[in-house]
C-alpha cells in the first residue's frame, strides 16, 4: 500500500540569473530582466512529495512534523531571506535558475530521508512558473 | 486517446489520530496534539482523478455530473460533518490518518466505477498537508 | 498616513453548534448536521487587520513578527487541535458559531495591542463561509 | 538531469457541448444545461508542462519567456474571447468538451516544440473540473 | 455586536458587452474583444456579504444554509449556464458588464432579505477583474 | 450608483528593510533577517480598487483595459525585476517596507486617474503579509 504524502513550505530570496562565462551583453540578451545586476526576488513555494509504504502502527508514510522539521533545517534556514548568488555556497558556481534550485533542494533533502522513501520536489518561483524534479 | 479528468469535492470532519494498542503516553509521544482526546477537525478537499479513453459520441471520459453524484453518495454523505472515529464503520479499527483515509475513499469509489477507468485520489487534510493514492 | 496591515494565520479545531437551553430535537432542527453530537471540525483561516499611522523610523504600522507572535500565543496555542466545546473556557457558555468565535478572537487580541491601533478580524470556517468583526 | 517546467496561462471563451448527429432531445438528455442553445462560458486556466534536460549554459529546460510566447500565439490569440463552436475551425466537427479541448491545445503546442522536449497539458474548465492530456 | 457573514457561490455564463444604440464600429472600438458577436464567457465567483446583529439563541447573523438557498434560487438557477444577453430578462435592455451584473444580483437578493440586514456583493468576472456593490 | 472595480497585477522585486540613520547593530536588532545586507525578494501581488459612478453608455466605472495599462506603465515597468533600494528613485530616501511601498504606488496611480474616481491599494508582500492604503 504505497501512498505519496506532500508537505508545503514557503520562503523568499533574491537572485540573479547570470552565466559568469558570458559577456554582460550575452547575459542581457539571453536572460533579459532576470539578469538585473542588482538582483530581484521571489516568494518561493515548495512542495515536497515523499512516497512509501504506510506504517500500520501509525497510519503514516512519514510523520509530517518530522518532514517539516527536515525542510526547515535543510531549506528554509539556509535560503530564507537570502541572496542566492551571494549568500549561499550552493550557487557559488551554479546558475540559480528554478530548475537548478529544485535539484539543489532535492539533494539537500534526499540525504536526510531513509532510502525506502522516494522523493520529488515541486518549486514555484511565481504562481505562474514552477518546476518538478525528478521529472 | 487516453485523458485524465479531475473532479474536486469538499467536506469537513472531526478525528483523532490514535492507536488503540498503545498506551496513552505512547500515543501522546508519537501523535502529539493530533492525539487530543476530545478530537480536532479539518476541511478536507478531495480531488478524484479518473483516466480512460474519450468517448467519441460525447467527448467525455466520464460525465462529471455522474462522477460528482458518485462522490456525493460514497464520500460526502458518509463523512461530511462526522466524527471519523466515532461515527463511521470504516475507522472502527483503522487509524484515521490522511494516508488511510485516502485508501478508504479510493476503495469506496473504485467499486462504483467501470473497470476500464483508472482511479487516483488526492486528499488535502490542510492546504499544507496532503496525500495521493495510489502513489 | 494611516495604513492597514494584515497577517494571516491558520489552525484547526473540532466543534459542535449547540444551544444547551434547547431540546435535542430543536437543536437538530435549527442546526442540522452542524449539531452532530460527536463533533465535526474545520481548518480555520484567520486574517488579522491592524490599522494605524506608519512609524517613520521603521516604515511599519506594527512589526508583523511581533503581531505574528501575539496571534500565536493568544489564538493558535489556545485553539489549535482543540475541541472548542470541551477544551476551551471561552465556549463553556457560548455557542462556537463562526460569528461568536470571531468576537472571542477579537477580544483576545484587542487587549494585547496598543490603543492607537484599530483591529478587525476575518475568520474563515471554510473557503465558502467566513465572517468579519467588527462589521 | 531531466526536469519538468510548468507555465500557467489564462483565457476565456463561450461554448456549447453538442453532438450534431443526435436529436435535440438526446443532446438535452445527455448534456443537460451544458447543451444550452445560446451557449455558456468559462475562464479556462491552462498549465503547460514541458520536460527535458537542463541546459548547463542557461540552467533552463526551456526559456519560459519563449514558452509563454508560443502559448500566446497558439492558444490565447486563437481562443481568448471566442465562441469555440462558431469562431474556431478546430471545433467545426469536434465537440468542445474539456477533454477534446486539451487534445486540441496539445497538438497546437506540440508542433512548436523541439522533439527532445516532452509535453503535457492540464486544462481547468472550472476550479472543480479539469483534465490532463496525455494521461 | 454587529458581525458580517460571507457566503461564496459559483456559476458560469456567456455574455457580450454591447451597446445597442451604437454602431458596430463604435462597439468594436470601445469594447474590443469583449464585443465579440458570438459571445464569450466566464466562471463567475460571487461573494455575498450580510451584516447584522448576532442572534444570541443561535450565534448566527443569518443561517448560512438559508442564505445559500436564497443565492441558489435567485442567482444560480437564473444565470448558471445561461447566455446573459439572450436568455435573461435582466439584461434585455442593460449591458451585462460586471458592474451592472453586480447591481442586478444585489437587487435580486435584497428583496429576499429582512430589512435589519445590510447587503453587499462582490462579483469576480475573472480572478483578476472584480467589482463590489454598493461601493 | 457607485460601484468599486478591482484589477489585480503582479511583479517581483528585491529589497532590504534598512534605516540609514541607524547603526548596523540597531538595524539588525529591529529588522532581523529583513535587513540582510545582500537583499532578499518577493513576488508582489497588487490589487487596485477604483470607485465611481457607472457610465450608462458603457456599463463601466473605468475600462479595465485602460486601468491595466496605467498599472503596467506606472508600477510594473518601474518596479518589476528591480532592486527597490538600488534601482528606484522612489526608495532613495524611503524605507521599502510594504506600508511605504503601498503609499508610493498609490501616489503613482492617483495622478493618472480622473478626480471623480476614488482609489485604494492592496499590496501583498507574501500571501500571509499584506497592506491597504488608504486605510
pLDDT in tens, E96-135: 999 999 999 999 999 999 999 999 999 999 999 999 999 9
Q: What angle do CA A31, A33, A39 make, to 5 degrees?
A: 100
Q: Is F116 on the interface with E (CB under 8 A)?
A: no
Instruction: Read off the pLDDT band of A128 (50, 70, 90).
Output: very high
Query: Can you tell me the distance from the alpha carbon of F55 to that of F7, in angstroms, rounded to the nearest whole number?
Result: 18
pLDDT 10s digits, D92-104: 999 999 999 999 9
Mean pLDDT over D58-77 rounds to: 98
E strands, chain D, are: 2-15, 40-53, 82-83, 118-126, 129-133
Radius of gyration of chain F, Cα coordinates, nearest whole angstrom: 17
Instruction: Read off the pLDDT band of A60 (50, 70, 90).
Output: very high
Which pLDDT score is estimated for D18? Answer: 97
Which pLDDT score is estimated for E74? Answer: 98
Which pLDDT score is estimated for F121? Answer: 98
Which pLDDT score is estimated for F5? Answer: 98
Mean pLDDT over D117-133 rounds to: 98
Mean pLDDT over C33-57 rounds to: 97
The residue whose grid cell reads 441558489 is E72
Tell which phi-psi region holds residue A81, choosing left (phi > 0), alpha (psi between -120 and 50) or beta: left
Taking an 8 Å cut-off on Cβ atoms, the answer to whether D82 and E40 are in contact is yes
Nearest CA distance, D56 vs chain B (angstrom): 31
Judged by 3 or more CB pairs under 8 A, whether F touches E is yes
Write down which chains contact chain E via at least 3 CB pairs under 8 A: C, D, F
Within 8 A of B48 by CB-CB distance, chain D residues are none
Q: What percent of chain C has pLDDT over 70?
A: 100
Which pLDDT score is estimated for B134? Answer: 98
E strands, D16-110, are: 40-53, 82-83
Which pLDDT score is estimated for A81? Answer: 98
Which pLDDT score is estimated for B49? Answer: 98
Query: Can you tell me the distance from the alpha carbon of F135 to that of F121, in angstroms, rounded to the nearest whole number?
Result: 9
- What is the average pLDDT value for chain F, to the nearest integer? 98
Asked about B89 being catalytic, the answer comes back as: no
Q: What is the value of pTM for the model shown? A: 0.97
Query: Can you tell me the distance from the alpha carbon of C115 to that of B81, in angstroms, rounded to the nearest whole number?
Result: 40
Contacts of E100 (CB under 8 A, 6+ apart): E91, E94, F54, F59
Which pLDDT score is estimated for C110? Answer: 98
Tell which phi-psi region holds residue F40, choosing left (phi > 0), alpha (psi between -120 and 50) or beta: beta
Within 8 A of C134 by CB-CB distance, chain E residues are 2-3
Mean pLDDT over F106-115 rounds to: 98
Query: How many other CB atoms are there within 10 angstroms of residue C90's CB atom?
Result: 18
Taking an 8 Å cut-off on Cβ atoms, the answer to whether A132 and D7 are in contact is no
Which stretches of chain E drop beneath a pLDDT of 70? none
Point out the residues of F that are catalytic.
34, 81, 125
Nearest CA distance, B106 vs chain C (angstrom): 22
Within 8 A of A27 by CB-CB distance, chain F residues are none
Q: Is B78 on the interface with C (CB under 8 A)?
A: no
Which pLDDT score is estimated for F55? Answer: 98
Which pLDDT score is estimated for E81? Answer: 98
Q: Is C76 on the interface with E (CB under 8 A)?
A: no
Q: What percent of chain F has pLDDT over 70?
A: 100
Which pLDDT score is estimated for E84? Answer: 98
Mean pLDDT over F48-67 rounds to: 98
Which pLDDT score is estimated for D80? Answer: 98
Domains and CATH numbers, chain E: 2-133 (3.30.479.10)
| Rounded (10°) CA dihedral E98, E99, E101, E103 | 160
Radius of gyration of chain D, Cα coordinates, nearest whole angstrom: 17
- What is the average pLDDT value for chain A, to the nearest integer? 98
Could you please report the per-residue DSSP string of C78-127? HHTTEEHHHH-GGGSSS---HHHHHHHHHHHHHTTS-TTSEEEEEEEEET
C29, C40, C53, C81: the catalytic one is C81
Which pLDDT score is estimated for C125? Answer: 98
CA-nearest of C132, C126, C17, C118 to C61 is C118
pLDDT 10s digits, A84-116: 999 999 999 999 999 999 999 999 999 999 999
Residues of chain A numbered 9-68 and touching chain B (CB < 8 Å): 9, 51, 54, 57-61, 63-65
Of F95, F129, F132, the CB nearest to C64: F129
Q: What percent of chain F has pLDDT over 90?
A: 99
Which pLDDT score is estimated for E46? Answer: 98
Which stretches of chain B drop beneath a pLDDT of 50? none
Radius of gyration of chain A, Cα coordinates, nearest whole angstrom: 17
Which pLDDT score is estimated for D120? Answer: 98
CA-nearest of D64, D80, D65, D75 to D121 is D75
Mean pLDDT over C81-109 rounds to: 98
Amino acid at each position: 500500500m504505497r501512498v505519496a504524502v506532500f508537505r508545503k513550505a514557503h520562503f523568499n530570496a533574491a537572485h540573479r540569473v547570470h552565466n559568469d562565462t558570458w559577456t554582460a551583453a550575452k547575459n542581457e540578451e539571453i536572460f533579459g530582466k532576470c539578469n538585473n545586476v542588482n538582483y530581484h526576488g521571489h516568494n518561493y513555494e515548495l512542495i515536497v512529495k515523499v512516497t512509501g509504504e504506510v506504517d500500520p502502527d501509525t497510519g503514516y508514510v512519514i510523520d509530517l512534523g518530522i518532514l517539516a522539521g527536515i525542510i526547515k533545517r535543510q531549506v528554509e534556514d539556509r535560503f530564507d531571506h537570502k541572496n542566492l548568488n551571494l549568500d549561499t555556497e550552493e550557487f557559488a558556481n551554479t546558475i540559480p535558475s528554478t530548475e537548478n534550485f529544485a535539484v539543489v533542494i532535492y539533494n539537500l533533502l534526499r540525504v536526510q530521508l531513509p532510502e525506502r522513501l522516494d522523493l520529488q520536489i515541486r518549486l514555484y518561483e511565481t504562481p505562474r512558473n514552477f518546476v518538478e524534479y525528478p521529472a
